[in-house]
């Protein structure tokens, strides 16, 4: 929860290739106070069966930028066989890589304002991703 002097962050992941939440994905959180400042790793979490991280660390006072790192390679490795079958069923679909994810990790950096909550969902598929500020 944010206070007047801090911001707060939450996220979830939806695998749009199968229309389901992406569970068991490691998410790391880092913060900095100013564009030129060093990043400070704050810790992380793992998405639950609903694709949500409910226990991301709190942001320190003075945070101006946040970075979420999603480790999606292992997720796609464990779901690759079903994704490969789906891709092969579509004549013009690109082939799923045998060597792992096309994007092995996704790093999202955004600016924050004290007192605001930022929900940043990741819409993910084997060959692309999208993020937005949710509510």
Exposed/middle/buried for 122, CB within 10 Å: 0-12, 13-18, 19+?
buried
Residue 68 is assigned to a structural domain of this protein: yes
Name the pairing type of β-strands 65-71 and 117-119.
unpaired
Residue 1 is assigned to a structural domain of this protein: no
Q: Which domain holds residue 87?
A: 8-131
Average pLDDT on 39-50 reads 97
Model pLDDT, residue 103? 92
CATH of the domain at 107: 2.60.40.180
> Greatest CA span in the chain, whole angstroms?
53
Model pLDDT, residue 101? 79
- 47, 21 in Cβ contact below 8 A? yes
Residue 2 is assigned to a structural domain of this protein: no
Model pLDDT, residue 98? 54
Count of structural domains within the chain: 1
Residue 97 is assigned to a structural domain of this protein: yes
> What is the residue-averaged pLDDT of the chain?
88
Model pLDDT, residue 75? 93
For residue 63, the tally of other CB atoms under 10 A from its CB is 25
Residue 88 is assigned to a structural domain of this protein: yes
Query: Would you state the structure tokens that stand for residue 115, as one six-digit string?
Result: 């007192």
Model pLDDT, residue 84? 52
- 47, 22 in Cβ contact below 8 A? yes
Residue 110 is assigned to a structural domain of this protein: yes
Q: pLDDT at residue 42 above 60? A: yes
- 87, 39 in Cβ contact below 8 A? no
Residue 3 is assigned to a structural domain of this protein: no
Residue 18 is assigned to a structural domain of this protein: yes
Model pLDDT, residue 5? 80
Which range scores top for mean pLDDT: 24-33, 87-96, 99-108? 24-33
Tell me, yes or no, if the pTM score tops 0.85: no
């Amino acid at each position: 929860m944010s206070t007047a002097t801090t911001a707060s962050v939450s996220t979830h992941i939806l695998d749009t290739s199968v229309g389901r939440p992406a569970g068991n994905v490691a998410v790391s959180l880092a913060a900095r106070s100013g564009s030129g400042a060093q990043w400070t790793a704050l810790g992380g979490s793992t998405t639950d069966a609903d694709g949500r991280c409910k226990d991301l660390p709190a942001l320190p006072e003075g945070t101006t930028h946040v970075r979420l790192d999603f480790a999606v390679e292992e997720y796609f490795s464990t779901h690759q066989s079903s994704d490969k079958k789906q891709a092969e069923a579509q004549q013009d679909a690109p082939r799923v890589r045998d060597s792992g994810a096309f994007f092995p990790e996704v790093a999202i950096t955004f600016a924050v304002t004290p007192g605001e909550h930022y929900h940043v969902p990741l819409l993910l598929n084997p060959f692309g991703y999208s993020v937005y500020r949710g509510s």
